[in-house]
Structure 1
Amino acid sequence: MSLSSTELLPTAVRPALRAAVSGLPSYVPGRRGTGVDIAALASNESHHEPLPAAAAAVAEAAARMNRYPDMAAVGLRERIAAQFGVSADEVAVGPGSVGVLQQIITGLCDAGDEVVFAWRSFEAYPILVEVAGARAVRVPLDAAEGHDLDAMAAAVTERTKVILLCTPNNPTGVPISHERIEAFLRSVRSDILVVIDEAYVEYADAGSGPDSLGLYRAFPNVCILRTFSKAYGLAGLRVGYAVATPEIAEGLRRTAIPFGVTALAQAAAIASLDAADEMEARVAVVKEERARMAAILEDRGWTLPRSQGNFLWIRTDDELRPRLMDAFDNAGILVRAYQGDGIRITVADPASNDRVLAVLESFTA
């Protein structure tokens, strides 16, 4: 005898999600638009087309996409290692820096362990922590929209396994200085992995943030986390990496999804590193536009943190934020709103940036 789905016995046990998963907030991606007049400024993507060398590498690799990629990503790891002056054993890769971060949390945290991070920061942090069964410890930003490292140090307990430092911070753009991170590292236990998340480091002015490689060499519990999604323009291919001690990096490779970084992504990432001069020229234009926009907005009365990412942050209350979002929507501009906090606006080409300025001109900060 068989039963249809509508005839199941009322006492039948059904599959159920873990409680930790049922209560997870959904990751909210930047909104997308398809119209020719839409300015897509919600996801901090590079507005430039892929670097020509990266596009050529993808085209060549596409002819072999019937084959699995190199699961160990040896060529890419060796190229990243050469960039940093480390060994390939100290490099782990994954599908974007968020994928590598998932490998970090999976590799280090048992149920009930704690991960400390600033808030507001990258929205995926609490999701990745909670899905692993660990406990997310959010420490409020300071008055300058940056990390309150003293409060973060005070939040450490015997269950703390990982601390996340996002510099420049997403979404506020505020970096953490080298001196502050160095002092912080001296104040926390050496068995806690301190991840310096530098997804936007290419956009930061020299000296505004830490010498993360120097910190890594001085403190074995430091892990550097970076991505090719932003300045290198490979957001659609999903490839990021970590630099960590060989023991930690090996653990990250073990927790990675098999074949998670495609052959196309590996080839494009290598080509992008080899085209660093062209990438840096593009970044310089974004930095110039960021400074121009910030200066104009400050002259008009807006108070902005000195962003070191490819975006600007406007803190708003619950009365102004919906009005601003309506104005941006009506102007065909997609930006990112954070409930209870503010609005993040990607810096793009001058014409799109001028459209942003025109919307904000009609508001009084």
Structure 2
Amino acid sequence: MKFVDEATIEVVAGKGGNGVASFRREKFIPFGGPDGGDGGRGGSVYAVADRNINTLIDYRYARLHRAQNGEQGSGSDRYGAGGSDITLRMPVGTMVYDAETNELLFDLATHGQKVVLAAGGNGGLGNLHFKSSTNRAPRQFTHGRPGEQRKLRLELKVLADVGLLGMPNAGKSTLIRKLSNARPKVADYPFTTLHPNLGVVRTDAERSFVIADIPGLIEGASEGAGLGHQFLRHLSRTRLLLHLVDVAPMDPTVDPVHEARAIVEELRRYDPALYEKPRWLVLNKVDMVDDPQGLKEAFCLEFGWDGPVFCISALAGDGTQELAWAVQNWLDEQREAEQAFDEDPRFVETQASAAKPAPVRRRPPRRAPADGGDAGPQTPEDAPDDDGGDAGGEGGDGGGDGD
């Protein structure tokens, strides 16, 4: 199936049915009164995230999606039927934008998430709703409201824990084939990968993570050169980036350090937030060099890298399993840290105290003077609490004085 990560569609919700002006006409009942029913509600257009779909190919050709209109009301208090809704199933990770304003409307990030793309119009009212004591024979009715109509731009961002980043022919597809059951195309020429590939790396019976492979980047990708800039958005949801560098290029004039710097610069130009993501350096094809450890130290020194670095051979499998375990452990630590932050009792107490209303302080009631004189008018603040004790006693005294 062809991978499509962008599409533009138009959704049109159904129009509500019109109300009707009708009167009862039965034998021996000359003045039956109004009995016009309401119109039916127009159908709405929904979108639901489905993890069983991984591309927007269905919306590349089917661009118009129109819901059914509501039926008109009729006499004898009969309401019109509502229009049928339609539900568009989209892959998890789809972002829905308004094509005219470029505003982000929805982000379908979880399986089963359902949103309303276009709401159907309400049905009109029949003359049954307009009867009154002064208007015994109303002829008023209202028309149904039109449904919403939108032009939407769909953009897919794949959900992956780890993203592979690097020049063409750096060995990204070979690495994902070695670590997972994904089988992307591998060849000895650049730009073999034309669309993102996802693979599930299982490190244990109950531990796994998802890795994404995007087309290789070249210098000037942030300005539109090559193919990779079209798919850099798929790395925005990842937690970790693996920067693969070919340390044994086929062309001896190619400098791996210069290519690594070019990739980092293109990443910074494309999206500063993506540039700030955690990134590990992976030196590939070390089986083709004489001194891998010396090459690693010289590369990191010239590149100015002080972060995590791994030496692997994606083709032979050397170091790939250690890399997978290190990534899995790092991801588990990140998830545990996030869970501990959410369950920290200090933040729970802070939120509870902020939500708890402040106690209300009541001023004690003003008591009558000892000589029996007038205590003066009481303000609402001076009024006694309504607990029944003091009020009852004062009321009893008042009754005695009246007698």
TM bucket by the smaller chain? Answer: under 0.3
User: Which has the larger Rg?
Assistant: 2
Select the structure that is richer in helix.
1
Calculate the TM-score normalised by the size of structure 2: 0.23
Q: More strand per residue: 1 or 2?
A: 2
TM superposition score normalised by structure 1: 0.25
Tell me which of the two structures has the higher relative contact order, counting C-alpha pairs closer than 8 angstroms and 6 or more residues apart. Answer: 1
